Structure 1
Amino acid sequence: MATRGETMHEFVAWPKTTRLFRDIIVTEKLDGTNAAIHISAFDKRAQSPYPGTAYTTVVGGTRYIVSAQSRKRIITPGKTTDNFGFAAWVYENAAQLVTLLGEGLHFGEWWGQGIQRGYARDLRSFSLFNTERYAGIRETVGTATLGVVPTLYVGMFSEKAIGTALGNLAASGSVAAPHFMRPEGICVYHTASRSVSKVTLDNNDAGKWEA
Structure 2
Amino acid sequence: MSDFEFKPWPKTPRLKRSIVITEKIDGTNACIYVNDDQTFVGAQSRNRIVTPDNDNAGFARWVYANAGALADTLGPGYHYGEWWGSGIQRAYGLKNGDKRFSLFNADRWQSHADELAAVDSLGVVPVLYRGDFTTNAVDDTVAQLAESGSRVADFDRPEGVIVYLPAARQGFKVLIENDHLPKGLAA
* TM-score after normalising by structure 1: 0.79
Report the AA paired with residue 90 of structure 1: V
Alignment-mate amino acid for residue 117 of structure 2: E
CA contact (8 A) 2:36 2:77 kept: no
Instruction: Flag the structure with higher helix content.
Output: 2
Structure 2: segments with no counterpart, 5+ residues: 182-187
How far apart are the structure 2 equivalents of 1:82 and 1:140? 24
Please tell me whether the aligned partners of residues 24 and 159 of structure 2 are also in contact (alpha carbons under 8 angstroms).
yes
- Of residues 82, 104, 108, the one that matches 1:129 is 104
State the partner residue of 1:46: none
Alpha-carbon shift at residue 105 of structure 1 (Å): 0.9
Q: How does 1:77-88 map to 2 (within 5 A)?
A: 77-78=52-53, 81-88=54-61
The answer for the alignment partner of 1:141 in structure 2 is 119
Distance 2:125 2:161 in 1: 10
Structure 2 counterpart of 1:18, which letter? P
* Structure 1 position 36 matched with structure 2 position 31: yes
Match of 1:10 in 2: 5
* Pairs within 5 Å for 1:49-128: 64-78=39-53, 81-122=54-95, 123-128=98-103
Unmatched runs of 5 consecutive residues or more in structure 1: 3-7, 43-62, 207-211
In 2, the alpha carbon distance for the partners of 1:9 and 1:94 equals: 47
Q: 1:26 aligns with which of 15, 21, 24?
A: 21
- Is residue 168 of structure 2 the alignment partner of residue 193 of structure 1? yes
Q: % of aligned pairs identical?
A: 51
Are 2:32 and 2:44, in contact at CA under 8 Å, matched by a contact in 1? yes
Instruction: Please give the TM-score of this superposition, normalised by the length of structure 2.
Output: 0.88
Dislocated runs of 4+, deviation >4 Å: none
RMSD: 1.5
Count of aligned pairs: 176
Counterpart residue identity of residue 161, structure 1: A
Larger Rg over CA atoms = 1
Structure 1 CA distance, aligned partners of 2:119 and 2:148?
28
